[in-house]
Amino acid sequence: MLAIAALAIKKTVTLFALVGPVSMIPIFLSATDGLDLAARLRFARTIGVSVTVALLVAAFLGLPLLSFLGVSLGAMQVGGGIIVLLLAIAMVLGKETSFKGSPANGGQPERREASIVPLAVPLLAGPAAFSYVMGNSVWDSRLDLIHVVLPIVLVGLSCWLSFRIACTAGREIRQATLNVVERVSGFILSAMAIEMMATGLRQLFPLLGGA
């Protein structure tokens, strides 16, 4: 039991680092710009649930599903990288309207609904996190399910808590500051996107990795 608990803690720390909810707070604030506090809190909860569900699906069905569809992890990394790169370019140019979702009621901006894509998937629950849970979700008994399920649930909870705290703190941040942070975050995201695509391309084309 102690070994399982230690493994669960190790996997939780690793998965938290791969998901990185704290680093996504500026993007969360940008995505929810213009929403009232209640809507931001609902979106924070939705993101936490979405990340948890996505990673649980990856843990239990990911590899069989990819095999059935004939899709490799490398292809998933390239596709996710392209989505992230498009978002990063939009953020740098200040044209991230599509990232925030579409108006939900007759075009009224105050009813705008933020989208879980691409914040929940593939920015939080992205190729790196998917690959990790797919490769570390082997169990021999029901007791082993603790180190498979618990880390995912805890990381999803950390996403919700991080963004919930940001909902309150974000009200104290001036819009000009958010604009600067958004563009800097977009530049960093572009580098992350290129790295995601490069990793995927090396898996698809091993010769690109060099000798």
User: At residue 106, what are phi and psi to the nearest 5 degrees?
Assistant: 65, 25
So what's the pLDDT on residue 170?
Answer: 67
Largest CA-CA distance found in the chain, in angstroms, rounded: 58
pLDDT digits (tens, 9 = 90+) for 134-167: 878 877 888 888 999 999 999 999 999 999 999 9
H helices of the chain, in order, are 2-19, 25-31, 37-57, 63-69, 73-93, 127-135, 146-169, 175-204
CA separation for the pair 178, 135 (Å, rounded): 37
Whether pLDDT at 102 is above 80: no
CA separation for the pair 181, 96 (Å, rounded): 14
Residue of 136, 137, 31 lying closest to 90 (CA atoms): 31
CA separation for the pair 195, 205 (Å, rounded): 15
- Range with the largest mean pLDDT of 14-18, 77-81, 100-104, 190-194: 14-18
Whether pLDDT at 103 is above 60: no
pTM: 0.72
8 Å CB contact between 123 and 27: yes
Neighbours of 42 (CB within 10 A): 16
Residue of 85, 80, 113, 73 lying closest to 204 (CA atoms): 73
